[in-house]
Structure 1
């Protein structure tokens, strides 16, 4: 979901991350049937001072408030936990600041820009995020922050809940990233954990304490990683599912 200070909004749905050849489902691609949060989406912005795109006016900041329709957020994932007291979701926010100049007509002109600017303030874009991603790429859900829902009123101190799935998710992503590096180097996948060890790197590393198995498939692989009370299944497309072990759930 994107919004600017003119309150122009845009939403999209990815079938998988761009890095795994994901494709966009949006009104930009399919104006008639593409994914959209409207109707149902409500948004409003406020700019200070209340004048936009005038180089003679120095704006200090702007604010945005958004109400997203839950049925739209969950329609492709009906098994996801509904928001409730203590429920945890993954989420992140990003702001992109483009580099501008002012032309002879006293109008803003966007400078030549590139994606993933290495030098903040250069003639490209600066990126700020709510939860550190580690690289200029927002479509990496394993790196998003943790959102905890609460029934308490805003500004009320709430006890943070431990994210029980976090260790096994990290272990699964450690295997995924090592396998991605291995495939890039060797042009194939492997079911040999010892061979993957040399490709393990931060921020997600292979967990030696996890019970791990890898099954090679015609188009990639599927791996199972067990740690604590949970088992994670992940494949070459970054598709990750975590389940609590039956014995743990019954105890």
Structure 2
């Protein structure tokens, strides 16, 4: 019967095995299928050998292991590399403590020895700069988010989808939507634009969607609405890229609302059961819906988001934004190409595969890749206390916006560096960012790194503000005055 120490070591190895398998699936070893198979076999084989040793049946192997671990050729780093555990390769001080520990605990030398024997048998392929690793996807366009000054309505709006009230007529439209990848892609086939207003209770959104054939099929709330043509709203109140809202609506007025704890690239998850309590939503069709043979003009959407719900992710005790506050917001439109078959609309299909053609994704703020969940690329909405039509307020550009984008480059490079080397870096030279300069801030940032975590801190030159970003992409601010 193994003693308690043996059981502890057993579960540690099981944990390492699980971590290796997940890492292989998520892309640490992506592009090197043979390497993953070898690493997987190595861990399984090591586990089997270790159990024999720990159960007391391998005393000779332990003695042999003690001899091997003391030899100059012993290379524990190759063990971590071969087993896919290089991300857990410890610092020099930690390795020194581990080596001191192995001098007094007999099972560890044998374990290292067994693993090294497998490595020497040709099962080790350490990470290298030349490994076939898929690059972390980053925006392929310059950082230039659009902005919008959102004025107050003179009175509460009636949410009926019409957008014909005086306050709506006075509010300005956003720029026309573009392809999600940017203006280098083809111009959208149909025009889409948005207006915004607010009062003490709601954040109002009005959208106009040009459409020759208005079509929708989904009628149950919280259906996957983007499987229809739809309009989508994304709101990140505190610009940390985490804990943001998403709402989708189709031409039938069917809504899907959800909460994202983190972007999908950082593990999500999306909370589908979350609802915007008190949401008001309405659609108006200019033409007919689901009736082929006529020519429609389009449809309009009117939404009222209650501050009582939006405050949940505001990151402060405020019930609603103050005048001058800036939130990150984006709007998206999913559009399919349609054919008519037996008097009904259906998605156009690829003749070769028989599958529906890929949808178009049109947005207010392009992200530079086909993924709307890059909140750092969304537009800025600045709230004003002025009544719409009774004055003008300029959008306030901030040096912090550029500083935040510079820190985002550290996040992108760390993600890519980790995929290639199995560790994070505290050296901007290794990340290729040592020559970057940021006006108003003390570049370079200070970077703190552990085995599987990191955080970068960038201070303003006036010493009043610090910006932080960490391995899961969350950006936070700290006022120091």
Shorter-chain TM-score tier = 0.7 to 0.9
User: How much does 1:212 deviate?
Assistant: 0.9
User: How much does 1:78 deviate?
Assistant: 3.8
State whether structure 2 residue 284 is matched by structure 1 residue 46. yes
Between 92-101 and 72-81, report the one with greater CA deviation.
72-81
Paired with 1:3 and 1:63, the residues of 2 have a C-alpha distance of 11
Equivalenced residues, count = 223
SS at match of 1:162: coil
Give the helix-richer structure, 1 or 2.
2
Given that 2:330 and 2:364 are in contact with CA atoms closer than 8 Å, whether structure 1 keeps it comes out as: yes
Given that 2:423 and 2:452 are in contact with CA atoms closer than 8 Å, whether structure 1 keeps it comes out as: no
Relative distance call for 1:207 and 1:112 in structure 2 (3 A) is farther
State whether structure 2 residue 252 is matched by structure 1 residue 6. yes
State whether structure 2 residue 357 is matched by structure 1 residue 123. yes
SS at match of 1:95: strand
Given that 1:96 and 1:127 are in contact with CA atoms closer than 8 Å, whether structure 2 keeps it comes out as: yes
1:83-110 CA distance string (max 9 Å, x none): 222111111111111122211x110112
Given that 2:260 and 2:269 are in contact with CA atoms closer than 8 Å, whether structure 1 keeps it comes out as: yes
The answer for the alignment partner of 1:119 in structure 2 is none
State whether structure 2 residue 239 is matched by structure 1 residue 239. no
State whether structure 2 residue 445 is matched by structure 1 residue 212. yes
Question: Who wins on radius of gyration, i.e. which is larger?
Answer: 2
Paired with 1:108 and 1:70, the residues of 2 have a C-alpha distance of 38
State whether structure 2 residue 265 is matched by structure 1 residue 19. yes
State whether structure 2 residue 346 is matched by structure 1 residue 109. yes
When the two chains are superposed, the root-mean-square deviation of aligned CA atoms in Å is 2.3
Task: Identify which of structures 1 and 2 has the higher relative contact order when contacts are C-alpha pairs closer than 8 Å and 6+ apart.
Answer: 2
Relative distance call for 1:206 and 1:182 in structure 2 (3 A) is farther
SS at match of 1:68: strand
Given that 2:263 and 2:373 are in contact with CA atoms closer than 8 Å, whether structure 1 keeps it comes out as: yes
Between 66-75 and 219-228, report the one with greater CA deviation.
219-228
User: How much does 1:174 deviate?
Assistant: 1.4
Deviation beyond 6 Å, 4+ runs, structure 1: none
1:136-193 CA distance string (max 9 Å, x none): 2111111111001112232443222223421221121011111112122223211111
Given that 1:182 and 1:196 are in contact with CA atoms closer than 8 Å, whether structure 2 keeps it comes out as: yes
SS at match of 1:93: strand
Give the strand-richer structure, 1 or 2.
1
TM-score under structure 2 length normalisation? 0.44
SS at match of 1:54: coil
Given that 2:248 and 2:257 are in contact with CA atoms closer than 8 Å, whether structure 1 keeps it comes out as: yes
Given that 1:171 and 1:225 are in contact with CA atoms closer than 8 Å, whether structure 2 keeps it comes out as: no
Paired with 2:286 and 2:404, the residues of 1 have a C-alpha distance of 42
Given that 1:41 and 1:66 are in contact with CA atoms closer than 8 Å, whether structure 2 keeps it comes out as: yes
User: How much does 1:222 deviate?
Assistant: 1.4
1:224-247 CA distance string (max 9 Å, x none): 122444321111111110223x2x
SS at match of 2:366: coil
State whether structure 2 residue 316 is matched by structure 1 residue 79. yes
User: How much does 1:127 deviate?
Assistant: 1.2
Structure 1: 5+ residue stretches without partners: 27-33, 114-121
Paired with 1:89 and 1:132, the residues of 2 have a C-alpha distance of 17
